[in-house]
Structure 1
Amino acid sequence: MDSSRNIYKREIDFRALALTSPEFAKRLKSNDQLDFSDPDSVRQLTKSLLERDFKLVVDLPDDRLCPPIPNRFNYILWLQDLLDTSSRTGTDQYDPNRQVLGLDIGTGCCAIYPLLGCSSRPRWRFVATDIDSKNVSSSRKAVSDNKLDDRIMIMETKPNDPLIPVDKLDVDRLDFVMCNPPFYESEDELISSADAKSRPPFSACTGAAVEMITPGGEVAFIESLIKQSLILKTQVLWYTSMFGKLSSVSITVQKLFDNGVNNWAVTEFVQGKGTRRWAVGWSFSDWRPRSDVSRGIASLPKHLLPFPSHYDFEIPGRHTGSLEHAISKIGAEFSPLRYFHYTWYTKQSCIGYAREDVWSRKARRKFAREQHDGEAISHDEKALDVLTAALGFRIDLSLQADHSVDVVIRWIKGSDQVLFESFCGMLKRKLTEEVEV
């Protein structure tokens, strides 16, 4: 995640917030600290942050869960990164013209995720569901109060309804699904968990049982989402969920493995000194997110992390024309390849696609035999459908002070990591072989 977009990467300055919010100033103690054991103080913190940082005004019921803004905003930022770095443009950049539609499952008392998402991305729209009628009512009011009725629709669902109510949504496709399921499977687990650790910030807010407890806990909840995703598949680009327990991440990733899902992402949300949450996302498309977006839990066993989508190496510098030589060499290697297309979209970056392995010795020998036998290259062999390409890549070159060239190959599309590794190995060999001689 680009840290410059995370306005809460440091501890919240309560004194500075008090200067912008008289109501929050009333709650601040003389030592500029907040009494987190007081539900009213915690609710006021949330309201003041929303107003100052997002120009959002909300009422928070005193008998429903109070959403911690930094944690919720981190989830939105990660979703933005997932979409930006698995886009068909291949540039890993935010496209301000891209229309995005997301589903928030269990939106809570004020539709916090849709509000944050719409306030930070003008082209985003949401459908938000909840099974609690009071949450539905208060969320609709929050949406209306902030004049976002044309971008956020709140829908009440039943406990036995599918988590993704496709029959009611009246849409062909969703860009993402997000949820923050109840962490606990029983009231006893909730109480024992609270007793086992010091009280975290925001815990003073009184959450209703429907918001905090679900049969089987968060793992069972997400298992239901996985089952439905196996039916809907590419009707949703990214299925995602937040977790309250790190152990749930490992269990969920293993379930994805067991069901043949090979494009997934994990991350960790850290706020303050003790509050940690985790998230998992998975997709049935083969557009690969950037490594820092998909491999965001350092403590997770390596076999549970997705394959890196970056490969980098250095071409040692020999002369001032090292960069131009590398670009020329890439062109010389790529131009003869059939079922292969690439374009330089900047002077030092190109994006390309291949229908299959067309660079290996075996593929080149096959091509040579066909040429020898008089088989002409057809127009179809020169053309390439990006959507059916087995490999999509971006190559970024940068000249260093010692005239060496740094090469980064970004895996942007494909399901076969061996194919990506083969391509990277070929390119490294071709670009460095003259230097090594």
Structure 2
Amino acid sequence: MASSSSSATTITERSYYDGDVDFDALATKDADFAVICKVSKDKRWIDFQDPKVVQQLTESLLKCDFGISSIELPDDRLCPPVPVRWNYIRWIQELLDATSDTYSDRYDPGREVVGLDIGVGASCIYSLLACSSRPQWRMAGTDIDQHSLEYARKNVEANGMNKRIKLMLSTSDSPLIPLDAMKMEELDFVMTNPPFYSSAEDMQASYTGKQAPPSAVCTGAENEMICPGGDIGFVTRILEKSLKLRERVQWYTAMLGKMSSLQQVVAKLKEQGITNFAVTCLQAGHRTKRWAVAWSFQDYRPRNDVARHGELVHAVLPAPTAQTIAVPSMDAKSAGERIDATVRELDVRWQWRPSSSVGLMEAKENVWSRAARRKQKFASAGEKEKPKDVTMGSDGADESGEEEDAVGLAVKITCKNEAVELQWMRGSDHVLFTSFCGLLKRALTGRA
């Protein structure tokens, strides 16, 4: 994965920060950062307890890694560490790339995306990172703090983002997702980095008993650190709103301060019957860990490594969206021919690409069970309609031009030497996905 020193990586392809910032590389690129560094035993380090030093680190990373060259941070508001913030944005990018209606599972530079950041803060860092890295993305942002919003607007204007980032003052009584007030019918995603603590006592307790002090000085105002119910309470209110808005937002997402918070939020999602969710550990460096959760009422399923991203406990993991069938001594061509023959016997939409050994199957329902096959056999005087072809473009998109039928399951099949990979692209029923995987396993290996 790329680190902050990977200058060869373009902004739109930048990966996660996966380690501590390389101070030597950053000092070489930015003279302002070099000035604040200290050197001992030929190793650069900085004083994370000095607010001005922490501000300079943020400003230098934004400038050198993302081209955000003008940012003003007040002394009495949070100074956002860049790596974890970028990792949150990057994860959202992967979520959206992996759940588009084209089934392309990759970044589409032409796709227009609109997101909402609840609580932009003085830096407006999430909106600036999102828009600087994806030229077709636009952001809306809200905040209940007029002081922070004034700085956020300055930062948007200073970076020439006025037409792509729109900010609005909110109140504690306003809807958290104010689509009507913003005159928006729908959004691609909602994000928030809410206050983690429910009270000053709760915040103090989080530091008690820890062997090491906080990794960096905290300059956050009370409204940035504390809210009723802490991060769980805040995200619960977003969840309640999402139950009303539902598909008007494709992905509802939130950052959380503790693994225990993630566990409680995932439990609440399950209580509501929400099965299409994703989780991540947004670790950047050796000390900073945050977690994030996303959920959707649509049926496009994220790639398995996106839905279950980072170091996590089993209890929070969603159902897997991938299976691999081992086919020892079988090459990709032979496996593909067997799968193509099997799927063509079904009443499904299907395209197989022999040149790349990749196929895409769409089904309305389970048409491969014994009961479904008997029903099909005796329908229409015993003559079965051939499966419709799904005409995919170079990126895997359906280009048939036909009106789309209802889709109960979509699966991408990739054949490799000695293995077949199955990716759940769409659908609401995990049992249906595993059932289809079982069909192909029997066809390939003769075993259930």
TM-score where L is the length of structure 2: 0.89
CA distance in 2, matches of 1:91, 1:241: 25
* 1:346-385 paired onto structure 2 within 5 Å: 347-371=356-380, 373=381, 377=385
Counterpart among 239, 242, 245 of residue 258 in structure 2: 245
1:39 aligns to 2:45 (yes or no): no
CA distance in 1, matches of 2:310, 2:16: 21
- Write the letter of the residue equivalent to 1:271: A
1:394 aligns to 2:394 (yes or no): no
Counterpart among 94, 97, 101 of residue 114 in structure 2: 101
Q: What's the offset of the Cα at 1:423?
A: 0.4
Q: Which secondary structure state, in structure 1, belongs to the residue aligned with residue 298 of structure 2?
A: coil
1:65-118 per-residue CA deviation (whole Å, 9 max, x = no partner) reads 000000100001100111111122223111111110000000111210011111
Which residue in the other structure is 1:79 paired with? Answer: 92
CA distance in 2, matches of 1:271, 1:378: 51
1:49 aligns to 2:61 (yes or no): yes
CA distance in 2, matches of 1:307, 1:387: 25
CA distance in 1, matches of 2:292, 2:19: 21
Which residue in the other structure is 2:271 paired with? Answer: 258
Which residue in the other structure is 1:58 paired with? Answer: 71
Distance 1:301 1:376, change over 3 A: closer
Q: What's the offset of the Cα at 1:237?
A: 0.3
CA distance in 2, matches of 1:2, 1:10: 9
Q: Which secondary structure state, in structure 2, belongs to the residue aligned with residue 276 of structure 1?
A: coil
Q: What's the offset of the Cα at 1:361?
A: 1.4
1:426 aligns to 2:439 (yes or no): yes
What is the number of equivalent residue pairs in this alignment?
A: 423
Q: What's the offset of the Cα at 1:386?
A: 4.6
Q: Which secondary structure state, in structure 1, belongs to the residue aligned with residue 289 of structure 2?
A: strand
CA distance in 2, matches of 1:265, 1:7: 17
Q: Which secondary structure state, in structure 1, belongs to the residue aligned with residue 47 of structure 2?
A: coil
1:277-328 per-residue CA deviation (whole Å, 9 max, x = no partner) reads 00010000111101111112544234x311111111122326xxx4333222
1:414 aligns to 2:427 (yes or no): yes
Q: Which secondary structure state, in structure 1, belongs to the residue aligned with residue 282 of structure 2?
A: strand
CA distance in 1, matches of 2:184, 2:136: 17
- Write the letter of the residue equivalent to 1:327: G
- Write the letter of the residue equivalent to 1:333: T
* 1:252-291 paired onto structure 2 within 5 Å: 252-291=265-304
Q: What's the offset of the Cα at 1:342?
A: 3.2
Q: What's the offset of the Cα at 1:55?
A: 1.4
Distance 1:258 1:387, change over 3 A: farther
- Write the letter of the residue equivalent to 1:258: E
Which residue in the other structure is 1:199 paired with? Answer: 213
Q: What's the offset of the Cα at 1:19?
A: 2.6
Larger deviation, residues 165-174 vs 72-81: 165-174
Q: Which secondary structure state, in structure 2, belongs to the residue aligned with residue 9 of structure 1?
A: coil
Tell me, which stretches of 5 or more residues in structure 1 are unaligned? 400-404
- Write the letter of the residue equivalent to 2:324: D
Higher helix share: 1
Larger deviation, residues 32-41 vs 11-20: 11-20
CA distance in 2, matches of 1:136, 1:70: 22
CA distance in 1, matches of 2:219, 2:311: 33
Which residue in the other structure is 1:150 paired with? Answer: 163
Q: Which secondary structure state, in structure 2, belongs to the residue aligned with residue 190 of structure 1?
A: helix
Which residue in the other structure is 1:307 paired with? Answer: 319
CA contact (8 A) 2:350 2:359 kept: no
Distance 1:309 1:378, change over 3 A: closer
TM-score where L is the length of structure 1: 0.91
Q: What's the offset of the Cα at 1:179?
A: 0.2
CA distance in 2, matches of 1:60, 1:179: 19
Distance 1:61 1:172, change over 3 A: same
- Write the letter of the residue equivalent to 2:162: D
1:40-71 per-residue CA deviation (whole Å, 9 max, x = no partner) reads 11011101111111111201100000000001
CA distance in 2, matches of 1:227, 1:293: 24
- Write the letter of the residue equivalent to 2:343: F
1:27 aligns to 2:36 (yes or no): yes
Q: What's the offset of the Cα at 1:367?
A: 1.1
Q: What's the offset of the Cα at 1:142?
A: 0.4
Which residue in the other structure is 1:169 paired with? Answer: 182
CA contact (8 A) 2:111 2:136 kept: yes
Q: Which secondary structure state, in structure 2, belongs to the residue aligned with residue 395 of structure 1?
A: strand
CA distance in 1, matches of 2:337, 2:295: 38
CA distance in 2, matches of 1:266, 1:332: 37
CA distance in 2, matches of 1:367, 1:33: 70
Q: Which secondary structure state, in structure 2, belongs to the residue aligned with residue 191 of structure 1?
A: helix
- Write the letter of the residue equivalent to 1:167: D
- Write the letter of the residue equivalent to 1:66: C
CA contact (8 A) 1:342 1:353 kept: no
CA contact (8 A) 1:345 1:351 kept: no
1:12 aligns to 2:21 (yes or no): yes
CA contact (8 A) 1:107 1:129 kept: yes
CA distance in 2, matches of 1:30, 1:94: 41
Counterpart among 162, 177, 191 of residue 178 in structure 1: 191
